[in-house]
Chains A and B, each alone.
Chain A
Amino acid sequence: EAEVAQSPRYKITEKSQAVAFWCDPISGHATLYWYRQILGQGPELLVQFQDESVVDDSQLPKDRFSAERLKGVDSTLKIQPAELGDSAMYLCASSLDPMWAINTGELFFGEGSRLTVL
């Protein structure tokens, strides 16, 4: 069964260091999301891509976070410099189309990358 792949699963870093997360969506999925889930909270959208274009990054802290999906396939989320408050699970999700809730109801999540900033 096709899956959304994420790496690393776990990352421990010191504050002020740079950290990067990688996501490979299900083949053919044009829509890709990065969500952040702080411990004890629900996931919150950071950024959404449609193919290689960012369609919503309104909740992305752009002073330290960046995201790219250069060829419209896999994606990288970077944090530089990391702060203590960035400790969270970073979840990647993908879907066939941007109106997935109406059309297919299918949004596929990866297992996430758990970041601890010391």
Chain B
Amino acid sequence: AQKVTQAQTEISVVEKEDVTLDCVYETRDTTYYLFWYKQPPSGELVFLIRRNSFDEQNEISGRYSWNFQKSTSSFNFTITASQVVDSAVYFCALSALTQGGSEKLVFGKGMKLTVNP
């Protein structure tokens, strides 16, 4: 069965610090997709990135960067020069097939990031 582990439950940093959120996944599928979502206090899940299992290139988007290492089954997320607006719960997720043969997300437990001014 698919599983996503986010070992860190809560991190608190001071503004402008860099912070890395760890994600380790388990799957027997050869093709799969990894995601990161942000959940602000309002509750909705905001999509950040999708990465397929065949693309191990790191990706950078502004202050966000992602490091995918298939050899260690990790998909880590780094926020550079953190800002107060980055405060949220961040979820790593893995695509999996439902019993009906379509796709669902398997989420980690989430990591609460607090950025203090």
Q: Which residues of chain B have C-beta atoms less than 8 A from A93's C-beta?
A: 45
Question: How many of A's residues come within 8 Å of B, CB to CB?
Answer: 29
Given contacts A42-B107, A101-B33, contact A89 B100 (CB under 8 A): no
- Taking chain A's interface residues, is the majority helix, strand, or loop, or is none over half, making it mixed? mixed
Interface of B is mostly: loop
Given contacts A33-B104, A48-B100, contact A111 B44 (CB under 8 A): yes
Question: How far is A29 from B43 in the complex, measured between Cα atoms in Å?
Answer: 21
Q: Is B95 an interface residue (CB 8 A)?
A: yes
Contact B103 A101 (CB under 8 A): yes
Mark B residues whose CB is within 8 Å of A: 4, 9, 31, 33, 42-45, 47, 50, 91, 93, 95, 98-105, 107-110
- Which of A's residues lie within 8 Å of B, judged by CB? 31, 33, 40-45, 48, 50, 55-56, 58, 89, 91, 93, 98-102, 105-107, 109-112, 114
Q: List 30 A-B contacts (CB under 8 A).
A: A41-B109, A41-B110, A43-B105, A43-B107, A44-B107, A48-B98, A50-B100, A50-B102, A55-B98, A55-B99, A55-B100, A56-B98, A56-B99, A56-B102, A58-B98, A91-B43, A91-B45, A98-B102, A100-B103, A101-B33, A101-B105, A102-B103, A105-B50, A107-B47, A109-B45, A111-B42, A111-B43, A112-B43, A112-B44, A114-B43
